[in-house]
A and B are shown apart, each in its own frame.
Chain A
Amino acid sequence: MKNIINSTVWLLSLCLLASCGGGGSENNTAPIPDDKETIIAPAEPIENEHLSGGEASIKKIQSDAFSENSNNMVSVDRKKTFNLGDDFFNNPWVEGSASTSSRDGLGGLFNNNACQDCHIRDGRGHAPVDENDIDFDSILFRTATANIGFEDEDLILQSLKGNVPDQFFGGQLQQHGISGVSPEVSLGVSYQNKVVTFTDGTSVTLRDPTWTITSFNPEQSFGADTVFSARVAPPMIGLGLLALISEADILIKEDINDTDADGISGKANYVWSVNNQEVALGRFGWKAGQPSILEQSAGAFVNDMGLTNRLHQQETCTQEQSECLAAPNGNGDSVNNYDFEVSDPILDAIAFYSSHLAVPERRNAYSEQVLIGKALFKEAGCQECHTESYTTLIDQDQPELSAQTIFPYTDMLLHDMGEDLADFTPENEPASADMLYEFLATATEWRTPPLWGLGLTKTVDPQATFLHDGRANTIMEAVLWHGGEAENAKNKVLAFNQEEREALLAFLNDL
């Protein structure tokens, strides 16, 4: 078994090699081909840009890379809270009224029974592999109706209401029910190939999904004007840092009417804060429909798992869903009475945990190829929406996340991404770009997702796929699906040659 020692030595030397990357702007990567004409100059390296999440970043490159707490967290009490959140994020919730009284109350209807089973190892979920795959465990579907009255539209425009959901099914479709409760829907997908060709003739085959959303109850069908929105579970890292980007820094990039005529608007979503009972800037979720991590967590508990909590004390069953309404609750635990299922310490610990999942350090931020890729990223105009860097605000309650220079690559704003990525009708037609889907976000608008951690996505879960509905198997596929305001940037990428594409991917994979 000598090979064991050998491989350990080999690993060690690999580590040494890898660690050279962090030192400076030395050329230490694969040689750049001679054909320099087509490659632009490397971007100027920025001090500590390998620390994507500032001092909270962690040095992890394995499948647990998204599962660690902020690296600069020293307080044991805070680590205890993180661990408590971790326990309840990982372990399954069960039907009420179980003897495990802090962990019961799942359903009646639910998408999954543990946070972790959608946010796999705290990372991204995925769309099914093909039409034979019935794994819809880390993707879910929302509903909203297109033909709404003036009054509702007014409420939505004032950010007092998110949308008008399908009347029978409610705002989120659950494909699971606890025993005695029928699920709402069964789900399927098929993919059609769509070939995209680069200027140099290389082509990439994209998969274009056709979703099949079937009412479980044959007597009940969707409203004729119901529009669906597919949502894959997003990665959990760096959320607490995004929460501390100042509103001014976000709003300064807003350009709703594209007055600078660069083809890119950028719109802030304003949403109703259940916690503060006021309108607030939306930051989280695929359409920035939630103002805070606490509210995102509380919403996920009630919508994804059927678990009531202090912010949502009613199950999401609609009036007609009698089985769901009759499902046993899991209120309280064995020593405390409270009129909902997730106790306050658990909800707060989940929010704390979700705020402190650390962003991994970049591995090769200063290598020439990566810096060339970064220059190409900017050349194509990607950074117009994927804003590189911010300094976070100071929050006395979050010292680890305060005043950090971070590199998330998002402007936190909504952008029209085109018809191909739009929310869709029961016939799988794109919904109108004018349709308000979630507060101010229309059916074609999506919040620019942060790119940090992108290169470790498949390390954390090899099944993970990209974009809001998981249609993209690779990062390049995701790039090529960009449309609408990102059409120009995508076209520039389509003109990149092989070396340039490799450099761009080297950069994105290093994030």
Chain B
Amino acid sequence: MNKVLLNGFALSTLATLVACNSSEPDDFNTTDHIADNHADIAFAAYSDSKAAALVLQQSVNTFIATPTEGNLLAAKAAYKTIRAPYQQSEIMRFDSMITVGKNLDADGGPASVDEWEGQVNAWPLDENHINTIIAGSEDINVELLLSQNGADDNDANVTTGIHAVEFMLWGSDLNGTEAGSGERPASDFAIDGMCADSDCERRAQYLSAATDLLVDDLTIMTAEWSPTAKTTSGTLAYNFLNSPLALDYMVGSMITMATDELASARMGSGLGLGDPEEEHDCFSDLSHLAIYHNFQGVKNAFYGTYQSATYSISGANLAVLVKGKNTATFDNVDAALTSIEGKMVQILEAGERNENPVKFDQIIGQSSNGVERLIAESAVTELIAFDTELELMAEVLALENIDTEFDGD
């Protein structure tokens, strides 16, 4: 992408800027450019998620047509591919403060990322509700899933989205804090009269409907951030780019993801309680991947970068803006991100390595001096301390303190 070149330009102007000790941002790293680049990152992350979901849809169709263990593995692999871009996109979701009351759904699109998100990545999910639907008699289709999502005013009655697909592919993880994820056999989807309990066809219908809806939802959100959307009134991208609180929202989202989400609900609560059901990707045991890429989303927002097989974005960013105003603040944020990255990489590698991998639910079960637990605990500790650095950064940038804590879950 040509943005890499532009960034080189930005860095050289930064040098000039620091030299003349100006407190004004240079021409490139203005609010406009930083927000514009952030919108490009959102588009890339949603596009990658959508592309991965389309591959998943194909794999699921293949698996349902020919329910072999090999095809189930292929579908699981396709599912896993979505987690990297999607979890990076989650930095966008804490957006109610810039979207509420704007009627952004007037064009038929979602009113906010936060509102849309409940159908796509809701957690906690109580699988009993999905099992009850499958054991029932109503036709299973997208409409049924939508009508049953959050049924009985129960927020854990999640029927749609990534975690519903995850449950259909893996099943419940009955291993507690021991090694092993959900072990749903391919025979749960058996055809040609081979089904052990007569629900196989309904499971297939469920998996298919949930996957189709996921593709549709990601398609909708990708469109909200496309280059066209950026200049089209009523889209989320246009609203963000024209919001006087664009940077405030970006920094507020970094704080929320780092502290309220990662340090608290997504890592801290499980570690603190020792309950493996507190891990977010509890069926697939892919929490290490999920939290690692949530953290990449925080870094992306700061450095203005996004890397994937398809995209390589590096553009105007908060880092350069902050550095121009206060070098020490930049150094502190940069150092904190680097150090936390070190811990998150270790958690990722422990979960991904071929020999004796240690998944996040196993870390939850480790004693207080377990190798990976110590790493995870110190990541949480640093994420909490990082809050202070980010608040100082918001002060340096004279940003409003945006309340985003209660978006999402």
Interface, chain A (partner B; CB < 8 A): 1, 3-5, 7-8, 11-12, 15, 60-64, 67, 76, 79-81, 83-84, 86-88, 90-92, 94-95, 98-104, 106, 113, 116, 121, 176, 178-179, 333-336, 343, 345-346, 349
A4 touches B246 (CB 8 A): yes
A83 touches B259 (CB 8 A): yes
- In the bound assembly, the distance between CA atoms of A116 and B403 in angstroms comes to 15
Q: Closest residue of chain B to A116, judged by CB?
A: B406
A102 touches B273 (CB 8 A): yes
A67 touches B153 (CB 8 A): no
Within 8 A of A (CB), among B234-272: 241-242, 244, 246-247, 259-260, 263-265, 268-269, 272
Q: Closest residue of chain A to B132, judged by CB?
A: A179
- In the bound assembly, the distance between CA atoms of A155 and B81 in angstroms comes to 65
B154 touches A179 (CB 8 A): yes
A103 touches B400 (CB 8 A): no
Given A8-B244, A87-B268: A102 in contact with B401 (beta carbons within 8 A): no
B172 touches A99 (CB 8 A): yes
Sample 17 A-B pairs with CB under 8 A, ordered by A number. Answer: A1-B241, A7-B244, A8-B247, A8-B398, A8-B399, A83-B264, A87-B268, A94-B155, A98-B128, A100-B278, A102-B277, A103-B124, A103-B156, A113-B154, A176-B153, A334-B276, A335-B365
A4 touches B244 (CB 8 A): yes
- In the bound assembly, the distance between CA atoms of A176 and B154 in angstroms comes to 11
Residue from A60, A67, A178, A335 in contact with B276 in the complex, judged by beta carbons closer than 8 Å:
A335
Nearest 7 pairs of A and B residues by beta carbon: A64-B403, A94-B156, A100-B124, A83-B264, A98-B126, A92-B155, A12-B398
A346 touches B273 (CB 8 A): yes
Given A94-B155, A98-B128: A80 in contact with B380 (beta carbons within 8 A): yes
A87 touches B269 (CB 8 A): yes
- In the bound assembly, the distance between CA atoms of A334 and B401 in angstroms comes to 38
B268 touches A4 (CB 8 A): no
Asked whether any CB of chain A lies closer than 8 Å to the CB of B201, the reply is no
Residues of B within 8 A of A113 (CB): 153-155
A67 touches B274 (CB 8 A): no
Residues of A within 8 A of B172 (CB): 99
Among B275, B276, B282, B401, residue most surrounded by chain A Cβ atoms (within 10 Å): B275
Q: Closest residue of chain B to A64, judged by CB?
A: B403
Asked whether any CB of chain A lies closer than 8 Å to the CB of B26, the reply is no
Distance (whole angstroms) from the CB of A213 to the closest CB of chain B:
21
- In the bound assembly, the distance between CA atoms of A446 and B305 in angstroms comes to 57
Asked whether any CB of chain A lies closer than 8 Å to the CB of B385, the reply is yes
Asked whether any CB of chain A lies closer than 8 Å to the CB of B57, the reply is no
Asked whether any CB of chain A lies closer than 8 Å to the CB of B222, the reply is no
- In the bound assembly, the distance between CA atoms of A88 and B153 in angstroms comes to 18
Residues of B within 8 A of A63 (CB): 97, 403
Interface, chain B (partner A; CB < 8 A): 30-32, 97, 124-128, 152-157, 172, 176-177, 241-242, 244, 246-247, 259-260, 263-265, 268-269, 272-278, 282, 365, 380-381, 384-385, 398-403, 405-406, 409
* Beyond A12-B398, A84-B269, A102-B277, 9 additional pairs, beta carbon < 8 A: A8-B398, A61-B401, A64-B405, A88-B269, A90-B409, A98-B126, A104-B156, A179-B152, A343-B273
Given A8-B398, A86-B260, A86-B264: A335 in contact with B275 (beta carbons within 8 A): yes
- In the bound assembly, the distance between CA atoms of A346 and B276 in angstroms comes to 15
B127 touches A336 (CB 8 A): no
Residues of B within 8 A of A1 (CB): 31-32, 241-242
Q: Closest residue of chain B to A94, judged by CB?
A: B156
B126 touches A94 (CB 8 A): yes
A101 touches B275 (CB 8 A): yes
Q: Closest residue of chain B to A84, judged by CB?
A: B272
Among A83, A90, A104, A349, residue most surrounded by chain B Cβ atoms (within 10 Å): A83
B400 touches A333 (CB 8 A): no
Residues of A within 8 A of B400 (CB): 11, 62
Residue from A67, A106, A333 in contact with B273 in the complex, judged by beta carbons closer than 8 Å:
A333
A87 touches B265 (CB 8 A): yes
Among B97, B172, B265, residue most surrounded by chain A Cβ atoms (within 10 Å): B265
Given A1-B32, A83-B264, A90-B406: A100 in contact with B156 (beta carbons within 8 A): yes
Residues of A within 8 A of B384 (CB): 76, 79-80, 83
Distance (whole angstroms) from the CB of B325 to the closest CB of chain A:
12
Distance (whole angstroms) from the CB of A411 to the closest CB of chain B:
32
Q: Closest residue of chain A to B243, judged by CB?
A: A4
Residues of B within 8 A of A15 (CB): 398
Residue from A12, A80, A178 in contact with B272 in the complex, judged by beta carbons closer than 8 Å:
A80
Residues of A within 8 A of B155 (CB): 92, 94, 113
- In the bound assembly, the distance between CA atoms of A249 and B127 in angstroms comes to 53
- In the bound assembly, the distance between CA atoms of A336 and B272 in angstroms comes to 13
